[in-house]
Homo-oligomer: A and B are copies of this chain.
């Protein structure tokens, strides 16, 4: 994401960091959160685990905080942004593939026929992901993602997708890091799709991004240049019960703080909750159709049903977007 967009976001992130760590922070480290139970639960938890000698104290190396990405750190409507990327890639590659004019799922996709696309099912989806995400080196894919983000616009907000980061959650990640936490993304999204931009946008470096992945193969060219090729084979799905597995694989210790927004995050929250000592489990509840979107139990994207019941039953924190967030996006007036 070079040029204008990138600089703008670095500045946004820097401004947020300042807000969270300088004079403002002494009175309010979470200025985009309304006073209420969600904000209070966060502040209480952080205070209890960071006061040395207190019964709930957690040493710095164990302050692991994990965040889902889609619907938790940025929006996921009307379609996952990574799928928007895949659709745009298919369109960009179409001139090299005249056969796509007659072959599904490409025919429907290129014709803008959503019904036909849905009819192609999971097999069609995997084909779209394969042609847009594999058959190239990891470096080439990184460039493709970066270039796309620099030019693409969200259909509703007519802004770069990275503008649709939730300001309250950004403040939360800055606040936790200022309090000695190490912040990780644990997302069902593709690990190679996120890593090119998470450091600039969230301040979370690539090595702290956990996600779904495809098989990658080491190859040595005839002239001795090593490359990593992305193959059309799914390796790991970091969603649902895969999230504790991904956490175990990549982080190797149990988080004390976890935030998600859907049933795909339920096991991650359960795994976090089952550790010894004080833990924080949070869910973003999308309740604001005006500023963002309102959806939960019936949604095809980011369905929040069983996890909401469990949160209510167990007293996990539910951040009600409409009630708890003073501001959703940084671009709001």
Q: Contact residues of A with B, CB < 8 Å? A: 61, 64, 138, 182, 184, 191-192, 195, 199, 205-209, 213, 216-218, 220, 225-226, 228, 241-242, 244-245, 248-253, 267, 270-271, 274
Contact = CB atoms under 8 A, between A and B. Distances in A.
A207 B199 CA distance: 17
Nearest to A215: B245
A61 B199 contact: yes
A26 to B, nearest CB: 27
Nearest to A272: B226
A228 to B, nearest CB: 5
A195 B206 CA distance: 20
Given A61-B199, A218-B271, A271-B218, A226 B251 contact: no
**Top 4 A-B pairs, shortest CB-CB distance:** A206-B252, A218-B241, A195-B252, A207-B251
Given A226-B274, A271-B226, A274-B226, A216 B248 contact: yes
A250 B207 contact: yes
Contacts of A208: 207
A249 B195 contact: no
Contacts of A220: 267, 270
17 contacts: A61-B205, A64-B207, A182-B207, A184-B207, A206-B251, A207-B207, A207-B252, A207-B253, A213-B249, A218-B241, A218-B245, A226-B244, A226-B271, A226-B274, A228-B244, A228-B248, A228-B271
Nearest to A192: B252
Nearest to A241: B218
Instruction: Determine which residue in A191, A199, A220, A248 has the highest number of CB atoms from chain B within 10 A of its CB, and name it.
Output: A248
Given A220-B267, A226-B267, A226-B270, 13 more contacts: A192-B252, A206-B252, A206-B253, A207-B207, A207-B250, A216-B245, A216-B248, A217-B241, A220-B270, A225-B274, A226-B244, A226-B274, A228-B244
